[in-house]
Every structure is written in C-alpha cells, then in structure tokens.
Structure 1
C-alpha cells in the first residue's frame, strides 16, 4: 500500500531537484522556497536529504547546484547511450519525414563523434557513419558545434576533401555566422562529392549545445526536398527533445 505522506515527500524532493538541475545558475534557498511555496523547514529538510545523496551541492555562496552524482553520470560511457535512446524517437521521426539518413553526434575534445544513426530508406545514401571520423569543418554537424562554441575552431591548415571544402578560415567563419543566424548548418558536397547534409543543435539547460542531429543524403535528392525546408524540419523536431533536456 502506497504511503501518501511518503509519496508527497518524494514529489516535493523531485520538484526541488528539477528546479536546481534546470536552472541556468545556482539557486538560492529563498528562491526555491518562493517558487515551490513550501515551508522553509520542509524545503531545508528536503535539500539536506538531496545533499546527503549527492544530488545537489552548495557553492561558496551557499546556493544550490546539481551535485556530484550528475558529473559522475555524465562521465560514464553509458551517458552517450542514454542520450541516443532519448533522441531516438526524434531521429526516427526525422527519418520517416525525410526518407534520408539521420545522425546524432556529440562534441568530444576537438572532434565530433557520431553516436547513433537511423538509416535511409533508400539504398543509395545508406552509409553507416557511426564511429567514422570526419573533418568537422566539412560536416554540417561540425559547423553546428563550431558555431555554438562547443568545439574550438581548428588550428592550422584546413583539410580539403573536395573542391567545395572550406579551406580558407574567413570563408569558414562566414559560414558559421550563417549557422548562428538561421539556426541550422549545411555541408554541400564538402565532405564527399554528391553528399549533402543539414544539421541543427540539440540544447540542454541554459541553451547549451550538447549534441546535433543531421539529415544527409545524395545532393540531388536533398536539393529536391530543399535544404532550407530540411533545416526548418530539424529545428521543429529537435525543439521537443531540447525541452526534455531542460532547454527553455
């Protein structure tokens, strides 16, 4: 039999934790009391329990931020699997609507890593990119990460993969400005001749870009659908995923 008092405590603690984790900055005790409308004694007791479990911690000013368990979880290899599973319904919808290959990638150090893929329903264009290393400046996914600042711009000479590759830094910076302005990136024959991809960011708390999703396929088919239309489709579909991750 469910204990209603115990269930209420769990609900209140969960609500407190959600406020702390979703906040752009550490939350003060007073702001948490005011927002949830709980008694100060109740709020204090719940926060102490969350602290003991390392789900929240206090900063030097005494405000509350996500605890060490979140950092430990983020460092685990399984965190990428969990992100891929969370994003899978979005990626599958994009695959169904576009008919093309859909990839989810994350930034790691100075590189991008493809962590999951929904295959194209066409034989032509059904390439498995998971685990394949590509120069980020030739990739729509990479341009999203450069434009948002989560990947450092490449140092030195930019690799030329095709005649369309952006090998001059000013040209790359102009392209990144376009990404920031319209919200999506494109790679048109820049990685491989005949391959076009369009990508948009996945955001978490505070609008931080933590991943990106792309639609890619033969340039001729992508042109028929329209690069801009695919960019807007990505933005529309990813919005719900970003909200699940705490982006407002």
Structure 2
C-alpha cells in the first residue's frame, strides 16, 4: 500500500518508480498511471534516469534502472540470501525462469529472478509490480492472505475463491495464459519459522515447453525448493 510521507516531490517520484515497475511505459502511459501533468512526469522520470533508477529500453520506454539492483544487493534480507542458493538449483532442474514474489497490499512484487541462459523465456525484472488478479504467484499469495485482501481482489480476478481453496489444499498453484498470453507458471508458498506465508516461489516459461498444466511436471521440484527456502529461513 502506498504511503504519503508529506514530502510531495519524493512521493511523486516514488509513484513514478512504482508505475514503471508495473511494466515499461512511455510518457503518455506514465501520465495516465500516475495522474501527473506531462511536464512533471517527464521531469521526475528524467531525473530518476540520471541517477540510474530508471533506464530506457530499445523502444525508448522507461524501465527500472541498474541502480535498483545495486542498492538491493546491500539489503540484508534473509529471503534473498536463501534464494541465492535455492533459485539457481531450481532453474537448473527446470530449465525455465524462476522468481520470488512478495505481497504488497493487493499487488505482488518480484524480489528475485533468474532466467535460463538461452532460448525463449519469461522475463520478470526484479522490482516488477503486478496485481494479484492473475498468475500462479498471485493465487498463492492471495490464498494465504487476510480475508479483507481476498475480498478486495477476487471481484476482478481471473480465478475464484474456489481456486484459492484448492491452492491451500494442495499447496501450489498453476496458470496458463492467465497473466500473459503464451506464458505458463507454477508457484508454491514460502513460509517463515512460524509457518506464515511470506513469499511465493515460481517457475514460468512458454506454454509450448511447460504445457497448460505445469504442475503435473514441476510440482514436486517446486515444493522441494519452497521447503528448502523455509529451512534456510
């Protein structure tokens, strides 16, 4: 959930960062997402680009910049430390992209990601913010969230409360062409020492390789990775 610090320019700059973290965008889209005037949005984005918090892709759209990753490398986060060991192994086993997501209100944020060295892949940059309305990672995080959050998300979600009940029962979720056309994924919850779900670990890739029911192939390996993360925490 967004916070208001009382420092207007800082709050606006953070709004720009969060908007671009959702997906790459140009100035028109940035203005629409933030509600900022064109001149203000451009000035803030250009300033963030100078500090490498934003960069431009090949189409000239703003994306999160390298300074985001550089700063995050200095964060003492037990989940990221555990993921640095577990995620490479899961990528090696599956040959697909792997991610860690945390919930932030009614959204999820990618906090760690690795891609296969070659071939078609599902790229989710660290820092990407997505709604909880679609995707296997969203289902896992929402299934173990509080009732108020579930009630806020489900009316516009691409799945139902019955789906969430199934996720809680079997311990993992899957999706095919739900978050993005042509992409399939499978996710499982990561728990802390008290048993609370603090993240979702995911494997994602082209449907042509993963199939429309990726759980049939990767559920056991994913659950083992989730358990390994929980043990390290």
Superposition TM-score tier, normalisation by shorter sequence: 0.5 to 0.7
In the alignment, is the contact (CA less than 8 A) between 2:172 and 2:219 conserved in 1? yes
CA drift at 1:121? 3.0
Q: How many residues in Structure 1 have an aligned counterpart in Structure 2?
A: 159
| C-alpha distance in structure 2 between counterparts of 1:224 and 1:156, whole Å | 24
1:183 aligned residue (171, 185, 196): 171
Match of 2:75 among 66, 74, 78: 78
Q: 1:153 aligns with which of 142, 150, 157?
A: 150
1:43 aligns to what?
none
Cα deviation 1:31-74 (Å, max 9, x = unaligned): xxxxxxxxxxxxxxxxxxxxxxxxxxxxxxxxxxxxxxxxxxxx
The aligned counterpart of 2:91 is: 95
In structure 2, distance between residues paired with 1:172 and 1:225 = 18
Matched, 1:208 2:196: yes
Contact residue 100 and residue 122 of structure 1 kept, 8 A:
no
Residues 51-200 of structure 1 correspond to what in structure 2 (within 5 A)? 78-80=75-77, 82-149=78-145, 152-153=149-150, 155=152, 158-159=155-156, 166=158, 171-200=159-188
| Stretches of 4+ aligned residues off by more than 4 angstroms | 156-159
Q: Which runs of 5+ in 2 are unaligned?
A: 1-73
Could you tell me how far apart the structure 1 residues matched to 2:176 and 2:212 are? 14
SS class of match (2:152): coil
CA 1:196–1:177 in structure 2 vs 1: closer, same or farther (change >3 Å)? same
Q: Separation in 1 of the partners of 2:200 and 2:188?
A: 6
TM value normalised by structure 2: 0.61
Distance 2:187 2:84 in 1: 16
How far residue 226 of structure 1 moved from its aligned partner, in angstroms, is 4.0
209 and 79 in structure 1: CA distance in 2 versus 1, 3 angstrom threshold:
farther
State the TM-score, normalized to the length of structure 1: 0.58
Closer, same or farther: CA 149–195 of 1 in aligned 2, 3 Å: same
Rg: which structure is higher? Answer: 1
Secondary structure in 2 matching 1:216: strand
Task: Tell me which residue corresponds to 1:5.
Answer: none
Note the C-alpha offset of 1:128. Answer: 3.1
For 1:214 and 1:153, locate their aligned partners in 2 and report how far apart those are by CA, in whole Å: 20
Distance across 2 between alignment mates of 1:222 and 1:156: 27
Alpha-carbon distance in 1 for matches of 2:190, 2:213 = 22
Deviations 1:71-92 (A, max 9, x none): xxxxxx9244x42122121111
Contact 2:177 2:183 in 1 (8 A): yes
Matches within 5 A, 1:38-57: none
Q: Is the 8 A contact 1:99 1:122 kept in 2?
A: no
C-alpha distance in 2, partners of 1:226/1:144? 15
Aligned equivalents of 1:211 and 1:243: distance in 2?
A: 14
